[in-house]
Amino acid sequence: MPTALITGVTAGIGEAAARAFVGAGWKVIGTGRRADRLAALKDELGEALHTLEFDIRDEAARDAALDGLPEAFRDIDLLINNAGLALGLEPAQAAKLSNWTTMIDTNIASLVSITHKLLPALVARKGAIINLSSVAANYPYPGGNVYGATKAFVRQFSLNLRSDLIGSGVRVCSIEPGMVETEFTLVRTGSRETSDQLYGGVNPMTAEDIAATMLWVAQQPPHLNINALELMPVNQAWSPFLVHREG
Ligand SMILES: NC(=O)c1ccc[n+]([C@@H]2O[C@H](COP(=O)([O-])OP(=O)(O)OC[C@H]3O[C@@H](n4cnc5c(N)ncnc54)[C@H](OP(=O)(O)O)[C@@H]3O)[C@@H](O)[C@H]2O)c1
């Protein structure tokens, strides 16, 4: 039975991924900060899920949790770097610096750090990495400033990892979704109303859509690497360039 470590299983895409991978016969190590949600998921998924409670930015807590994994969950075949967030939609000149540093610490620094920790073991097992990037990596939009930049990092880091890992058998994929209805916008804006308005009438992608895609990526034969996958709901597309006219 292969083992996946999925960061951020207490909500949204990560939670759906934990269900999908356990449903497909995988063992899953699921991480997050909210203990009550980890416990509820553990009740639901049972022995196939091992939960670890830590803030992904806290390297010491993370290492203590990973180094203490029970025997049955020690051999990790797949790392899914899913934990992440956007904070704020203000233009750069009005944004809070603390929001920017939280996004950089969570979406970039923590992702790089856990990848660095697990890479030797993944190489030894010819494992795989799936990183959650975003369409925000590929297309700028107003208010996307640092969030989009963190996801561009994730995409490019994923591609560069492939260059270094050539010959190791390790596969790496950057998943780049558009609108997925999760707690993402609630976290971003702090407003349930704004979140409901954003997704209302759009028929957005679901967390289960992305989880099924990640499972499909993981199930490809060992000689095949899906480098990057961009997904959008049918009701989302690109906007024209912004043009400002003077006077
Ligand atoms: N929803 C979208 O439209 C969309 C589109 C493209 C990409 N993405 C990306 O997909 C990933 C998952 O997002 P989602 O939509 O599922 O959002 P979500 O519903 O808000 O879930 C985010 C998950 O990340 C975890 N997390 C956040 N900060 C953390 C921290 N400091 N330490 C540990 N865990 C942390 C949360 O757990 P705790 O709060 O319990 O710690 C939660 O489990 C993110 O990387 C996001 O950028 C989302």
Averaged pLDDT in 10-residue chunks for the chain of 247 residues? 98 99 98 98 98 98 98 98 98 98 98 98 98 98 98 98 98 98 97 96 98 98 98 96 94
Q: Whose CA is nearest to atom 11 of ligand 1?
A: 82
| CA distance between the termini of the chain | 66
Question: Is residue 241 situated within a structural domain?
Answer: no
pLDDT at 247: 87
- The ligand 1 atom at the shortest distance from the C-alpha of residue 183 is 19
Question: Per-residue pLDDT tens for 198-229?
Answer: 999 999 999 999 999 999 999 999 999 999 99
60 torsion bin: left (phi>0), alpha (psi -120 to 50), beta (else): alpha
Residue at 11 is within a domain: yes
Tell which atom from ligand 1 comes closest to the C-alpha of 102.
Answer: 31
Protein residue closest via CA to atom 8 of ligand 1:
134
Query: Residue 165 domain-assigned?
Result: yes
**Residue 174: its pLDDT value, please?**
99
Give the residue, out of 115, 129, 173, 180, with the most ligand 1 atoms within 8 A of its beta carbon, to mutate for a pocket test: 180
Measured from CB, residues less than 6 Å from any atom of ligand 1 are 8-14, 32-34, 55-57, 82-85, 106, 132, 134, 177, 179-180, 182-184, 187, 207
What's at 123, amino acid-wise?
Answer: V
**Containing structural domain, residue 33:** 3-230
Instruction: Please choose from 111, 132, 198, 210 the residue to mutate so as to test ligand 1's pocket, defined by most ligand atoms within 8 A of CB.
Output: 132
> What's the CA gap between 18 and 4, in Å, rounded?
9
Q: Is residue 237 part of a domain?
A: no
Q: What is the CATH number of the domain that holds 210?
A: 3.40.50.720
Give distance in angstroms: CA of 105 to centre of ligand 1. Answer: 13
Distance 85 CA to ligand 1 centre (A): 5
The catalytic residue positions are 147
CA pair distance 107, 56, nearest whole angstrom: 9
Amino acid at 225: N
245 found inside a domain:
no
Q: Is residue 236 part of a domain?
A: no
Asked if residue 28 is part of any domain, the answer here is yes
Instruction: Report the nearest-CA residue for atom 39 of ligand 1.
Output: 33
pLDDT number for residue 65: 98
Total domains in the fold of the chain? 1
pLDDT at site 235: 98
Task: Tell me the angle at which helices 111-124 and 145-165 cross, rounded to the nearest 10 degrees.
Answer: 20
- 244 within domain boundaries: no
CA of 12 to the centre of ligand 1 (A): 7
Q: Whose CA is nearest to atom 36 of ligand 1?
A: 8
Which ligand 1 atom minimizes the distance to the CA of 9? 43
